[in-house]
Structure 1
Amino acid sequence: MIKKSFFALCVCALAFSISCSQKPKQGEESGAVPGGEPDAAISSQSMNFDPEGSDSGKIPGLNTVNFDYDQSNLTNKARTLLKENANWIKDNTDVVVQIEGHCDVRGSVEYNLALGERRAKSVKNYMVSLGVDPKRLTIISYGEEKTIDNGSSDEAHSRNRRANFVPLPK
Structure 2
Amino acid sequence: MIKYIVVTLSLSFSIYALAQDQNNLVPNSSFESIEGKFKKLKQISAAKEWSSPTALNADLFSKKKEGPIGAPVNMYGKEHPKDGDNYAGIVVYSYNNKTPRTYIQVPLMSALTGGLDYCVKFHISLSDLSKYAVNNIGAHLGVDPLTLDSKGDIIFNNRKEFSNVVKDASNKIYIARYNWETVCGTFRANGKEKFITIGNFYNNKDTKYQKLKKLANFQGTQRPEAYYYVDNVEVFMIENPSDCDCMMGAKKQRESIVYHRDFADNGEEISVEEQLKRLTVYFDVESSKIDDMFRKSLDKLAMLLTENPELNLQLNGHTDKKEEEAIKNDPENELLVNLGIYRAKSIKDYIVKKGISSERLITIDAGPDQPAAPGLSMLSLAKNRRVEFIITK
TM-score for both structures, normalised by structure 1: 0.62
Partners in 1 of 2:316 and 2:326 — Cα distance? 16
Contact 1:89 1:132 in 2 (8 A): yes
Separation in 2, partners of 1:154, 1:117: 22
Which among 98, 122, 131 is matched to residue 314 of structure 2? Answer: 98
For structure 1, the 5+ residue unaligned runs are 1-57
Q: Residue in 2 aligned with 1:147? A: 371
Please tell me the residue identity of whatever aligns with 1:129: K
Q: How does 1:11-90 map to 2 (within 5 A)?
A: 59-62=273-276, 63-90=279-306
Code of the residue aligned with 1:96 in structure 2: it is N
Counterpart of 1:80 in 2: which secondary structure? helix
Q: TM-score, normalised by structure 2?
A: 0.27
Q: Look at both structures and tell me which one has the larger radius of gyration over its CA atoms.
A: 2
8 Å Cα contact 1:86-1:127 kept in structure 2 = yes
Shift of 1:60: 2.1
Cα-Cα RMSD: 1.8
Sequence identity (%):
30
* Structure 2: segments with no counterpart, 5+ residues: 1-271, 328-335
User: 2:292 is aligned with what amino acid?
Assistant: N
Question: Would you tell me which structure has more helix in proportion to its own residues?
Answer: 1
The amino acid across from 1:123 in the alignment is I
Q: Which amino acid aligns with 1:115?
A: L
> Residues 123 and 132 of structure 1: is their aligned pair in 2 closer, same or farther, counting only changes over 3 Å?
same
Alpha-carbon distance in structure 1 between the residues aligned to 2:325 and 2:356: 31
- Matches of 1:116 and 1:137, distance apart in 2: 15
Which 4+ stretches in 1 moved above 6 angstroms?
none
Separation in structure 2 between the aligned mates of residue 127 and residue 152 of structure 1, nearest angstrom: 31
Give the letter aligned to residue 155 of structure 1.
L
Letter in 2 for 1:126: Y
Query: C-alpha distance in 1, partners of 2:386/2:361?
Result: 17
* Contact 1:113-1:143 within 8 A present in 2 as well: no
Deviation for aligned residue 1:107: 3.0
1:114–1:143: 8 Å Cα contact kept in structure 2?
no
For residues 146-168 of structure 1, what are the alpha-carbon distances to aligned partners after superposition, in whole Å with 9 as ceiling and x for unaligned? 11111111000000000010001
- 1:108 maps to 324
The offset of 1:85, in angstroms, is 0.5
Supply the distance in 2 between the matched residues of 1:143 and 1:109 (Cα, whole angstroms): 12
Match of 2:351 in 1: 127
Higher strand share: 2
